[in-house]
Amino acid sequence: MTMRFQYARPPARQPVISLGGRWVRPRPLVRVTVVGPSGVYVREALLDTAADDSVFPEIAAAKIGIDLAAAPFGEASGVGGAPVLVHYAAVELRLTDGKEFRRWPAWVGFTAARLKHPLLGFAGCLQFFGAHFHGDREDVELEVNALYPGS
């Protein structure tokens, strides 16, 4: 089955010229739950096909009971940004569109860098789904693929 999510439409500070003067910037934000050994962290996250990893703030790790002191680590960087340290941990991710519910085990990154929204990137999320972004409808559809390890 397919989960369908409407894009969020956060207001812009000025008319967006590249969008014909609209006062909003549509974004594929979805509510995700991260489950750890002693808690959950729920936030809107950006579905980002350009993100290599799924990344959350370090505060999320603390809230769900993950100690990052001995966690494996790597680097990540965004557009024009310097690389930042990312610690990896195994969690459970959950998504629902109100009709369908999906949950799966995933390795995600945690960073001290400021994130406007957590990122759901290829590793940990989009590797398990076919993602169809519909610009005309301003929505995204996610359908589990053969790699999906969850229920």
**Predicted local distance difference test score (pLDDT) of residue 30:** 98
**Predicted local distance difference test score (pLDDT) of residue 60:** 98
* pTM (predicted TM-score): 0.94
Q: Block means of pLDDT (10 residues each) for the chain, length 151 residues?
A: 96 97 98 98 97 96 97 86 92 97 98 95 97 98 96 79
**Predicted local distance difference test score (pLDDT) of residue 25:** 97
- The CATH fold assigned to 2-144 is Cathepsin D, subunit A; domain 1 (2.40.70)
Residue 15's alpha-carbon distances to 25, 66, 127, in angstroms, are 10, 42, 35
**Predicted local distance difference test score (pLDDT) of residue 79:** 66
The strand pairing partners of 34, in sequence order, are 41, 93
CA atoms within 13 A on the CB side of 25: 9
Q: Which tokens go with 46? A: 């950006």
DSSP labels for the chain?
-EEEEEPB-PEEEEEEGGGTTEEE--B-EEEEEEEETTEEEEEEEEE-TT-SB-EEEHHHHHHTT---TT--EEEE--TTPPPEEEEEEEEEEEEE-SS-EEEEEEEEEEESS--SS-EE-TBTTGGGEEEEEETTTTEEEEEE-TT----
Residues 6+ apart with CB under 8 A from 70: none
